[in-house]
């Protein structure tokens, strides 16, 4: 850091100028959309936004903010990514370090889970009388929860209550998540009762979902369903889609197919039909026996879809492939192609795995070759299916097809030299290739689906920042 400072003697002055411009603006006009647009275009966290703001000022533009906090937070966060936060803090004169600066510092430290620095900032804020409100406490409570420091969380709660600082909606949600994480059923009950009795807090669907997840982890199915019913009564507005998807996932985890359909029918009365919701419903039904229900939802989606999402048919192809129904997978992909929709490499890759599972290795080899040929840069096929195809072609003595497949892999897949040599030399571990191919495909589906597992911790994004 010292080398950086010595080699950049003017940086401290640049930071002073920008912070002064941000901190001393008293006009209530917000930064213009033009500047916001310029800042938002700096997508790389390694690129600081100082030059953007400096150029704005040099152009004679006015830098006025309604509240310095958001701009400061974004400004400091851009430096945090490259490790200069402490340097920036030291550049700000003590007289300028008000609540906005310390609040931004605290948020940044918490965002990157720098516990010691966050605690030191919190101590300094105590000394300066900046923490007699719920905001900074929420940041630290959330940090302790995220890092599993539950004893410190309880200590901070005692301090908060000592000063008579009221709970906010976010405070309650952080505590609920923490008690769910530790399976503390009694505290979950207490927090819910406290929320319901607090006239300053408006309880929403999310709180009951968190509680339901806690009861589910403890195996208390009846209580889980009760919480889900309460949550359902509070669903409204723009969050209805996400809320219903969450309920679908939890009802599926409970194993109650009837409740899954009931929640789905409720969702459709809300007037919106999101791809993600159909995706979630299909995944939910596939966890129960059979594919008939999922196929009906698929047909319903196809009849109304405006923006085609390849992940949804991919789930169906994966399901057919996993169950050895390669003919169904083949017919399914054929319907998509016949409808004029451009097929993607990921779909053909799953079909190739289906052929592999069904012992149709010639079809598997041809399909995975086509998948690779139409793939986007950076995409990689199911390596276990690919290895099985190469093994099959070599076993057939088909040198040309083997070489053609290896050539297209080299041209499109951007494999490391080690991975390519292993394929080329046929020394990849061939044991249980079929099972490994299926495991890889299922794992890839979970990564793309954004599913809510049976016992996951729900997180309120708003709780992370002041």
Contact 108, 87 (CB under 8 A): no
Task: Identify the pLDDT of residue 101.
Answer: 77
Task: Identify the pLDDT of residue 65.
Answer: 42
Residues 1-13 have pLDDT tens digits of 333 333 344 444 4
Residues 403-453 have pLDDT tens digits of 999 899 888 887 777 766 666 665 455 556 666 666 766 666 655 444 433
Whole-number Å distance between alpha carbons of 62 and 25: 10
Which residues, at least 6 apart from 160, have a Cβ–Cβ distance to it below 8 Å?
134, 137
CB atoms closer than 10 angstroms to residue 196? 11
Would you tell me the crossing angle of helices 169-181 and 185-197 to the nearest 10 degrees? 170
**Alpha helix segments (H runs only) across 234-310:** 240-254, 257-268, 275-286, 292-304
Q: Which helix (H) or strand (E) holds 387?
A: helix 383-395
Residues 235-245 have pLDDT tens digits of 988 888 899 99
* Residue 17 DSSP class: H
Whole-number Å distance between alpha carbons of 228 and 224: 6
Which residues, at least 6 apart from 245, have a Cβ–Cβ distance to it below 8 Å?
276, 277, 280, 452
């Amino acid at each position: 850091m010292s080398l950086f400072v010595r080699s950049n003697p003017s940086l401290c002055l640049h930071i002073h100028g920008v912070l002064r411009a941000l901190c001393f603006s008293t006009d209530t006009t917000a930064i213009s959309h033009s500047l916001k647009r310029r800042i938002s275009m700096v997508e790389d966290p390694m690129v600081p936004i100082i030059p953007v703001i400096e150029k704005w000022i040099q152009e004679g533009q006015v830098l006025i903010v309604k509240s310095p906090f958001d701009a400061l937070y974004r400004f400091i966060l851009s430096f945090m990514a490259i490790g200069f936060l402490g340097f920036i803090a030291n550049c700000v004169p003590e007289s300028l370090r008000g609540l906005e600066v310390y609040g931004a510092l605290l948020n940044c430290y918490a965002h990157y889970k720098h516990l010691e620095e966050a605690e030191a900032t919190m101590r300094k804020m105590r000394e300066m009388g900046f923490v007699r409100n719920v905001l900074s406490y929420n940041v630290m409570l959330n940090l302790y929860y995220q890092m599993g420091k539950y004893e410190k969380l309880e200590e901070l709660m005692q301090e908060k209550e000592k000063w008579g600082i009221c709970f906010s909606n976010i405070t309650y949600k952080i505590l609920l998540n923490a008690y769910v994480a530790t399976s503390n059923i009694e505290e979950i009950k207490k927090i819910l009762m406290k929320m319901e009795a607090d006239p300053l807090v408006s309880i929403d669907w999310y709180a009951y979902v968190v509680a339901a997840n806690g009861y589910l982890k403890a195996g208390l199915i009846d209580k889980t369903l009760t919480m889900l019913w309460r949550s359902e009564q509070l669903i409204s507005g723009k969050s209805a889609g996400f809320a219903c998807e969450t309920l679908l996932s939890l009802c599926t985890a409970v194993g109650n197919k009837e409740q899954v359909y009931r929640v789905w029918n409720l969702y459709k009365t809300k007037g919106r039909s999101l791809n993600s919701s159909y995706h979630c419903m299909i995944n939910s039904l596939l966890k129960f026996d059979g594919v008939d229900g999922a196929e009906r939802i698929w047909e319903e989606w196809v009849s109304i879809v405006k923006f085609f999402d390849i992940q949804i048919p991919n789930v169906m192809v994966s399901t057919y492939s996993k169950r050895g129904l390669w003919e169904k997978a083949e017919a399914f992909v054929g319907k998509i192609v016949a409808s004029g929709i451009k097929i993607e490499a990921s779909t053909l890759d799953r079909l190739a795995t289906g052929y592999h599972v069904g012992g149709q290795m010639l079809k598997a080899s041809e399909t995975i070759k086509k998948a690779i040929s139409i793939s986007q840069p950076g995409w990689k096929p199911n390596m276990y299916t690919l290895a099985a195809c190469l093994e099959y072609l070599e076993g057939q003595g088909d040198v040309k097809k083997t070489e053609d497949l290896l050539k297209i892999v080299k041209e499109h897949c951007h494999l490391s030299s080690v991975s390519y040599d292993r394929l080329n030399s046929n020394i990849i571990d061939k044991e249980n290739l079929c099972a490994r191919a299926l495991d890889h495909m299922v794992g890839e589906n979970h990564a793309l689906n954004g599913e809510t597992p049976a016992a996951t911790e729900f997180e309120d994004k708003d709780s992370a920042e002041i």
